[in-house]
Amino acid sequence: MELDYRKSREELEKLQGNLRKAPEGIWCYELEEPLDTKLPVQAQCQWIFEKAILTHCNEALARMYGYSKVEDIIGIHLKDLFFPNIQTNLDILAEFVGNGYKTHDAESTEVDRNGNQKYFVNTSLGVVENGVLLRAWGVQKDITAMKNSELRLKRTIGLEGLLSEISRNFLRVDPGQTHEAINFALERLGEFTGADRAYIFLFTNAGLAISNSNEWCADGIPRQMHRLQNLPITVFPMENLEALRKTGVFVYNSADEIPENHTVLREFFQSMGLKSSIVVGLVSVDSEIGFLGLDSISKVRTWTEEDGYVLRLVADLVVLALDRKKRESDLNDFYERMNHDLELARITQRSLVAREFPDSPFFQVVSYFRPFEKVGGDIITYVQHESGVIDILFGDVSGHGISSAMVSGMAVLSFKYHARSGLSPAKGIQEFIKDLKPMVVEHHIATVWVRFFPLEKKLLYCYAGHPPIILFRGDQMIELKGMNLPLLIFDSIDYFDESLDLQAGDRLVFYSDGMYEVFNKQGRILDLSAFQEILNSYRELNSLQEYIEQVIADVFQFSEGTFSDDMAMLVIDIKK
């Protein structure tokens, strides 16, 4: 009996030692009062939030919250760690209750003892006895570093989008619309930073006065620009103006930071209802012309270095707009760089669109591609295997321009990888989806994957939303069967292979929807059936190049030289 007791005690001490050494945080929350599991879910969530107390944990968990010892955190309430106004935290409690008092890898947003925001992934299990919840045990991992990196990446992408949108708008408008363009920039800046007010002041009267020239206010924030005209420069203390000249910025996170001897500025803050402000200078050709600022009116706010950085970048764009005549050459240079980048993108995409195909006594292939913009989203590419078998991908990414071209580039790379592995077209498309789904959000792809066996005169193909391939055989014009939905729109779509035995003299025609979704000046569409009539009318031409040129000429004759989408064709002739 003594041996059994000693063995059990040793096992318990070993278990406790493992828990203490575990890298994950391990915890147990007890409820001050047991929870009736028959209460509504919302009431149960509130009960847990209010009455859960940490009673057990290991050192790893204590360190996650900034505590050096377990004893220092034991006894803390869940409500002192959780942010109740964050939706993910409300969801995790609702998930815990709704899933029978357990969660798996549920993400929470919490706060450590120093007020730092932390992110955790939690797996938990509740203990229910006689219809009441007594406690919950759980394991959590600290994902704060990963989450912060993700947030910084999203912020950086958002900032790039903000600056691109503002700069494009400045480039697009006439000089007479600069005022409206600056208002647009202030609106986007205010929304991006979460400010209540964004504004520009310009020096007037040889620098002796200053006026509010532009203003944006969030919903519910009263406009003030009409009150802020021709203010004496003495409203702003000389120290603030010197700070603008020396560092380019001055910041007041609260009115309490304004020195007591700056009574005019204190009164200005009070009259405007300001809680916090940050201001950067507007400098044109080494001379100050005014400043750009953000105000927080609804709450006291601590402005960050990033806020100042974003403000400076937007200020530079505003200066370019205000000084447009002097800086017009700089704007043109920027536009030239954009065009240069677009030209590089066009050249890159042309390398991904196959223009030349292998010479063969058994077949001939000719393609055509014309993007709507400098770059487009149509796909024409192939892989030839050592056996002579050729895999061809012909498709169309939704939209046009740079984003569509980027997706088409990813699609080509994925196709070439899976085609070389020998997967059938249908299986290759399934792998294709796995590659692109995590990266492509706002586009879908209409495509067809073809495997051509020249010696056997056989075609294996799989549709994914692409217009039907046309087969010309003798006097017949045949639409190849097997239509299916485009890629990246719906999940769990089954794609399947179709096969076709070919004959000498057959002609296969692939085309994008941009070939027939064209309009004339009267607004009439060419449509698919009319386009197929054009294809049929030139079927007797032996030269594939001449065949494509005649088809394109008829399409442009109908549309009177205009088109609104990328245009692509691929034609295969079976020789013998």
* pLDDT for res 336: 65
Residue 485 DSSP symbol: P
Residues 177 and 175: their CA atoms lie apart, in Å, by 5
* pLDDT for res 215: 94
Where are the alpha helices (H) located in 66-177, listed in sequence order? Answer: 87-98, 144-172
* pLDDT for res 3: 43
| Residue boundaries of the structural domains of the chain | 15-147, 173-327, 354-574
In one letter, which amino acid is 74? I
Give the model's confidence band at 562: pLDDT under 50 very low, under 70 low, under 90 confident, else very high: confident
Give the model's confidence band at 334: pLDDT under 50 very low, under 70 low, under 90 confident, else very high: low
For 477, other C-beta atoms within 10 Å of its C-beta total 16
In this structure, what token pair is assigned to residue 455? 């010696």
Considering only CA atoms, which of 294, 46, 315, 60 is closest in space to residue 194? 294
CA-to-CA dists, residue 289 to 48, 55, 242, 265, 559, angstroms: 57, 62, 14, 20, 51
HSE, side-chain direction, 13 A CA sphere, residue 551: 30
pLDDT digits (tens, 9 = 90+) for 30-40: 999 999 999 99
Q: Give the sheet arrangement for strand 470-473, strand by strand.
A: 363-370, 567-574, 507-511, 470-473, 476-479
Q: Once rounded to an integer, what is the mean pLDDT over residues 166-188?
A: 87
Q: CATH number for the 173-327 domain, one of 3.40.50.300, 3.40.50.11290, 3.30.450.40, 3.30.1490.20?
A: 3.30.450.40
Q: Once rounded to an integer, what is the mean pLDDT over residues 283-310?
A: 86
Do domains 173-327 and 354-574 share one topology? The answer is no
* pLDDT for res 85: 72
User: How much of the chain exceeds pLDDT 70, in percent?
Assistant: 88
Residue 71 DSSP symbol: G
Considering only CA atoms, which of 264, 253, 254 is closest in space to residue 308? 253
In this structure, what token pair is assigned to residue 137? 């045990």
Q: Comparing 71-80, 177-186, 350-359, 473-482, which segment has the lowest mean pLDDT?
A: 350-359
* pLDDT for res 1: 41
Residues 528 and 563: their CA atoms lie apart, in Å, by 15
- pLDDT of residue 262 exceeding 50, the answer is yes
pTM of this structure: 0.44
For residue 326, count CB atoms less than 10 angstroms from its CB and return exposed for 0-12, middle for 13-18, buried for 19 or more: exposed
Residues 446 and 464: their CA atoms lie apart, in Å, by 6
* pLDDT for res 134: 94
In this structure, what token pair is assigned to residue 82? 């959780």
* pLDDT for res 250: 82
What is the architecture, at CATH level 2, of domain 354-574?
Answer: 4-Layer Sandwich (3.60)
pLDDT digits (tens, 9 = 90+) for 115-125: 888 999 999 99
In one letter, which amino acid is 191? E
For residue 19, count CB atoms less than 10 angstroms from its CB and return exposed for 0-12, middle for 13-18, buried for 19 or more: middle
Output 129 or 375, whichever has higher pLDDT: 129
Q: CATH number for the 15-147 domain, one of 1.20.1300.10, 3.30.450.20, 3.30.565.10, 3.30.465.10?
A: 3.30.450.20
- pLDDT of residue 269 exceeding 80, the answer is yes
Give the model's confidence band at 5: pLDDT under 50 very low, under 70 low, under 90 confident, else very high: very low
- pLDDT of residue 7 exceeding 50, the answer is no
* pLDDT for res 420: 87
For residue 501, count CB atoms less than 10 angstroms from its CB and return exposed for 0-12, middle for 13-18, buried for 19 or more: exposed
The mean pLDDT value of the chain amounts to 84
Q: Once rounded to an integer, what is the mean pLDDT over residues 531-541?
A: 93
3-state secondary structure of 257: helix
* pLDDT for res 326: 56
pLDDT digits (tens, 9 = 90+) for 233-255: 887 777 777 777 777 788 888 88
201 contacts 212 by C-beta, under 8 angstroms: yes
Helix (H) or strand (E) holding 536: helix 528-537
Q: Comparing 126-130, 162-166, 571-575, which segment has the lowest mean pLDDT?
A: 162-166
- pLDDT of residue 372 exceeding 70, the answer is no
Chain centroid, CA 396 distance in Å: 21
- pLDDT of residue 400 exceeding 80, the answer is no
pLDDT digits (tens, 9 = 90+) for 10-21: 554 555 555 666
Residues in contact with 133: Cβ distance below 8 Å, sequence separation at least 6, in sequence order: 31, 34, 35, 37, 44, 48, 101, 126, 127
Q: Once rounded to an integer, what is the mean pLDDT over residues 187-215?
A: 89
For 437, other C-beta atoms within 10 Å of its C-beta total 12
* pLDDT for res 8: 47
Top mean-pLDDT range of 197-211, 248-262, 426-440, 503-517 = 503-517
CA-to-CA dists, residue 142 to 25, 54, 57, 89, 340, angstroms: 8, 18, 15, 15, 45
